[in-house]
Amino acid sequence: MPRQARIDAPGALQHVIIRGIEKKAIFKDNQDRNNFVKRLGNILLGTSTACYAWALIPNHAHLLLRSGLVPIATVMRRLLTGYAQQFNRRHHRHGQLFQNRYKSVLCEEDPYLLELVRYIHLNPLRSGFVRDLKELKFYRYAGHAVLMGSLYYEWQAKEYVLKLFGKTERQGRREYASFVTLGVNEGRRPELVGGGLLRSVGGWSTLKIRRLQGIRIKGDERILGSGDFVERVLKVANEDFEQRTRFKRQGYDLEVLLERVASYYKVDENSLRDGRKQREAVKARSVLCYLAVRKLRMSATEVALKLNITPSAVSKLAMRGQSVVPITGVEEFLIKC
């Protein structure tokens, strides 16, 4: 059966699981772990991708991310390709490092975000890589130490998570620590590592009760959440796919897109390439970056080379363009061209 396309959208919560091929180690020592963490941090900051939880185990890793404008697939490709090359050079090996594709599950936030933060951060303890919660508090290769205040990474969104537990950082940290302690004896919780109908509803017994009640629930292996959530996500994903393919069928590439965005905003095409600060030129450049990254699936680096700006500038402009596009109707204009 052919594998399904990944589902992603700006703002989507994604549980990403990376495993070594044949269950072999992808981190042999702290130098490997440090290399991975440094690369991860640079990519997350450069793509405005939020990270709420993460943990590195010798043969696998977990990440809880929220998509920015750069698709998670692009983020992970840059992270894993670069790390694998570095790992192979350092350890004088060749061939595949990771098991097939990484796994990513789009998750419904309200019921799952905090559970996933706890589950991911307890992985080093469950795997026997640390002995107890005291040691986990100072384990440098999981986000728990950041939330507990014994480690700091600029790219980890600790404030967002702690505010879900308390009004102040001190209160949030205390309540978070209690929450994690309660989860120590819960086991591996397979319902949190994948989507699908059974996992979303909590197993066969719950599903059977729902069916006896005449309740039919939509499920999808790529999504962890209620039936309504699954249906909403699939609807948006289908609409996004249809729009992307429509752009491609109409022959859009960056040059065509640049020409038509300039036409829509009535600005000179060169003003989008030379960094002019006029209001309409800045707005048009923001929309151009958004459409190129999200609709044409171009990397920030590709767009940056065409516009003579940096990749980080492309990401920032695309974030700004995201708020402009639904208001201006520029996408409808482009489709009609």
pLDDT for residue 167: 94
Q: Angle at CA 11, nearest 5°, toward 7 and 13?
A: 65
Question: Does residue 326 fall inside a structural domain?
Answer: yes
Place of tokens 């061209």: 337
138 lies in the same domain as 259: no
The CATH number for 279's domain is: 1.10.1750.10
Place of tokens 């052919």: 2
183 lies in the same domain as 274: no
- Domain span at 181: 13-194
Which H/E stretch holds residue 103? strand 103-107
The residue out of 160, 194, 228 marking a domain boundary is 194
The CATH number for 136's domain is: 3.30.70.1290
CB 259 within 8 A of CB 269: yes
288 lies in the same domain as 166: no
Dist. CA 301–CA 72, nearest whole Å: 16
State how far the alpha carbon of 124 is from the alpha carbons of 25, 30, 62, 184, 218, in Å.
14, 14, 10, 11, 33
128 lies in the same domain as 273: no
pLDDT for residue 145: 98
Per the structure, the count of domains in the chain is 2
Question: Does residue 279 fall inside a structural domain?
Answer: yes
- pTM of the entire predicted model: 0.70
Residuewise pLDDT in 10s, the chain (337 residues): 445 556 666 778 889 999 999 999 999 999 999 999 999 999 999 888 999 999 999 999 999 999 887 888 889 999 999 999 999 999 999 999 998 778 888 887 777 899 999 999 999 999 999 999 999 999 999 999 999 999 999 999 999 999 999 999 999 999 999 999 999 987 666 666 655 434 444 443 443 444 444 444 444 466 776 656 556 555 555 556 555 566 666 677 888 889 989 998 899 888 888 877 788 888 899 989 988 887 787 888 888 888 888 888 888 888 888 777 666 677 777 766 5
100 lies in the same domain as 178: yes
185 lies in the same domain as 270: no
Dist. CA 99–CA 14, nearest whole Å: 19
Question: Does residue 199 fall inside a structural domain?
Answer: no
**The 50-57 sheet, strands edge to edge:** 50-57, 60-66, 13-19, 103-107, 223-224
